[in-house]
Amino acid sequence: MESIYLVVSFWFFAAVISTILANRLKISIALMEILVGALVGFAGMELNLYDSLSLNEDWFKFCAGMGSILLTFLSGAELNPDIMKTKIKEVSVVGITGFLAPFLGCTLISHYLVGWDIRASLLCGIALSTTSMAVVYAVMLEYGFNNTDYGKGILGACFVNDLGTVIGLGLIFAPFTYRTLIFIGLTILLIIIVPSVTSFLIKRFAYKTAAIRAKWIIFLLTAAGTLAIWSGSEPVLPAYIIGMTLVRTMEKDGHFVRRLRTLTIGFLTPLYFLRAGALMSIPSLLVAPVIFIVLFVAKVISKIFGLYPVIRNFRENRKEKWYYTLLMSTGLTFGTISALFGLSKNIIDQQQYSLIVGAVIASAVIPTLIANRFFLPEHLLEIPIPEDIAPDERDIKRKI
């Protein structure tokens, strides 16, 4: 146990450093944690201490996985059904385009330009077609866009995009079996019964027992995640769906949501983002830097050329259009999951895996960094201040 406590203390020290650097450099904390994780992983390899980082220990993978699951659940719980109904055309068109454009572009480029076989190229196209729900939601939460219609539209489009990735991976590589049917059937059952059961538990026990809401949510997510893994899917998918089904319930209890965010952002997601960066093999990228650059550019350019003409139909402001496009160009969770699936099934080899994951992680960092630095739509976060407020109070409100 002593070694586990030592490793955990080291990683949370890295998380503290990441937060300080992110504040000083004025970039997203999630992105800084990925960058710091990559540097720690590289240093560990150079100093022959990589195994001491415990990145592949079951407890570390569980904590990191729970971070992505809870973050995905919270992002789903942000999507107000009424707003989604008004944005169904936008999120559907943007999400489908966000999947198809990079899937086709990256598959063709990796096959005809890089020279990979067709199965590896299709896997590459799937992995690079994703949009990172974890990164996008972390950025939305950090800047406050999750409370705006604009931010909810982006989150909705991310969900449709990643749903396309999951379906594409399943149709092309994963066999459709009776387990898939059971997973779909039980997920539909959860959608039907979870809201009423949750409301009953909250009404009957929430204010009489300790943290039953958090325990119930974690039970739901881990049980649904187990079912998803058993069926050949991924646990983040039912987490998003459960979040969407409980959005009405979560809206009524802002205090509980804030506490759940504190648990997620303060404890679990630092381990997820730091681990994601540390798993990227910088030496493997240096061996074939041209291929890495080609894959990264293929993902981002195909996303931009596919999405920008579509997004301009829904947004008029230049910053809003570019911010939307660049955030949709990110990738992380489903991209790394798809790449790991390909490696485990011998569809790609270790070097191809490192190149794809490197491109995925680079797409999580660079587009978001550019978006936040040059295209942040601050006007959407402006709070109107009544004219009759005293000058000193107006100054205080501007600083809040």
Q: What share of the chain is helix, strand, coil (3-state, %, to 5)?
A: 80, 0, 20
Predicted model pTM: 0.76
CATH architecture, domain 62-378: Up-down Bundle (1.20)
All structural domains of the chain with their residue ranges: 62-378
Mean pLDDT value across residues 291-301: 94
In tens, the pLDDT along 320-357 reads 999 999 999 998 777 877 887 788 778 998 789 889 98
Do 260 and 74 contact (CB within 8 A), yes or no? yes
| Per-residue pLDDT at 27 exceeds 80 | no
In tens, the pLDDT along 215-255 reads 999 999 999 999 988 887 778 778 888 988 888 888 777 77
Element at 21 (helix H, strand E): helix 2-25
pLDDT of residue 386: 43
Q: How confident is the model at residue 209 (pLDDT cuts 50, 70, 90)?
A: low
* Sign of the dihedral through C-alpha 49, 51, 52, 56: positive
C-alpha span between 64 and 160 (Å, rounded): 24
- Nearest alpha-carbon partner for 168 in 127, 228, 131: 127
Residue 358 CB contacts under 8 Å (≥ 6 apart), including other chains = 280, 281, 284, 285, 292, 295, 296
- Nearest alpha-carbon partner for 90 in 158, 164, 138, 136: 158
Token digits for 262? 């504190």
pLDDT of residue 302: 95
pLDDT of residue 210: 66
The residue that leads in pLDDT, 249 or 101, is: 101
| Per-residue pLDDT at 256 exceeds 90 | no
Do 158 and 95 contact (CB within 8 A), yes or no? yes
Q: What average pLDDT does the chain have? A: 85
Token digits for 330? 């990110």
In tens, the pLDDT along 61-86 reads 899 889 888 988 887 787 767 667 78
